[in-house]
């Protein structure tokens, strides 16, 4: 019995392999739990009340009101600039009432009154030019052509988004890689145990032959 116990003791390399496997299992579970609570659950909630629709531009206009944005010009250099408010009003296939178009959910939360937030430049004139360029794009290039837009009843039912912040690919990777880490950890532990078991059996058979 003593010899049997000694034979089943893991070597240093096998012990390290087992520790690595359990570490990967723990990391995979913690990642799934953390992402589920902090990121995946809110993302699914955002998508839960939403859907897609066909949108057509009704009007493109700039409001007289300007909004502040923060620019960065170095490690310790930050400042505030302003940009004009561009509104793109669209008609959706789900409702005849006009809706305000936004780039995505993040832009909607940042400035729900406007349809576009330009990259914040130090010069207000540059910000105005970027907004004017976007205005021409919606008027001249898109015009009356229909395009796909997205809505979400949990955020603002009278607003639509040009794209989703959390699409299916992002959600897939959010779930896939922690799961792969967990499965690799399980595989390492199982293979180490199986290899040790086979080695012990081979040693036992070898001893029987010598008897």
What are 37-62's pLDDT values in tens digits? 655 555 555 554 567 788 999 999 99
Rounded CA-CA distance 46/36 in Å is 14
Domain annotation covers residue 34: no
pLDDT > 90? residue 137: yes
Residue 38 tokens read as: 């902090």
Which residues are registered as beta bridge partners of 210? Answer: none
In a shared domain, residues 99 and 139 = yes
In a shared domain, residues 156 and 191 = no
Domain annotation covers residue 42: no
Task: Tell me how crowded residue 175 is: count the other CB atoms within 10 A of its CB.
Answer: 14
The residue-averaged pLDDT of 64-70 equals 90
The residue-averaged pLDDT of 89-114 equals 87
Tell which residue, 172, 189, 140, 149, has the closest CA to residue 14.
189
Number of domains in the chain: 2
By the 10 Å C-beta count (0-12 exposed, 13-18 middle, 19+ buried), 92 is classed as buried
* Structure confidence at residue 114 (pLDDT): 93
Domain annotation covers residue 146: yes
Task: Tell me how crowded residue 60 is: count the other CB atoms within 10 A of its CB.
Answer: 21
* Structure confidence at residue 3 (pLDDT): 44
Q: Which stretch of 13-22, 84-93, 147-156 has the lowest confidence by average pLDDT?
A: 147-156
**C-alpha dihedral sign at 193, 197, 200, 206:** negative
In a shared domain, residues 190 and 158 = no
In a shared domain, residues 129 and 145 = yes
Domain annotation covers residue 176: yes
In a shared domain, residues 156 and 184 = no
In a shared domain, residues 54 and 130 = yes
The domain containing residue 178 runs over which residues?
167-202
In a shared domain, residues 93 and 72 = yes
In a shared domain, residues 120 and 185 = no
The overall average pLDDT reported for the chain is: 81
Rounded CA-CA distance 189/55 in Å is 53
Task: Tell me how crowded residue 66 is: count the other CB atoms within 10 A of its CB.
Answer: 16
In a shared domain, residues 161 and 66 = yes
In a shared domain, residues 57 and 122 = yes
Domain annotation covers residue 22: no
Q: Estimate to the nearest angstrom the gap between the alpha carbon of 181 and the chain centroid.
A: 18
In a shared domain, residues 187 and 96 = no
pLDDT band at 179 (very low <50, low <70, confident <90, very high): confident
């Amino acid at each position: 019995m003593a010899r049997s116990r000694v034979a089943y003791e893991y070597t240093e390399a096998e012990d390290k392999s087992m520790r690595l496997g359990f570490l990967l299992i723990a990391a995979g579970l913690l990642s799934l739990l953390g992402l589920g609570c902090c990121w995946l659950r809110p993302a699914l909630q955002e998508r839960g009340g939403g859907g897609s629709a066909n949108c057509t531009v009704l009007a493109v206009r700039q409001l007289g009101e300007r909004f502040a944005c923060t620019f960065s010009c170095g490690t310790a250099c930050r400042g505030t600039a302003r940009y004009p408010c561009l509104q793109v009003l669209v008609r959706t296939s789900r409702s005849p009432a006009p809706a305000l178009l936004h780039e995505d959910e993040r832009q909607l939360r940042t400035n729900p009154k406007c349809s576009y937030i330009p990259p914040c430049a130090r010069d207000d004139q540059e910000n105005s030019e970027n907004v004017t360029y976007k205005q021409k794009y919606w008027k001249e290039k898109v015009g009356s052509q229909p395009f796909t837009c997205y809505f979400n009843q949990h955020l603002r039912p009278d607003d639509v988004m040009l794209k989703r912040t959390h699409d299916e690919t992002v959600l897939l990777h959010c779930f896939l890689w922690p799961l792969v880490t967990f499965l690799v950890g399980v595989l390492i532990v199982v293979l180490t145990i199986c290899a040790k078991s086979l080695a012990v059996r081979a040693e036992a058979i070898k001893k029987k032959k010598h008897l």
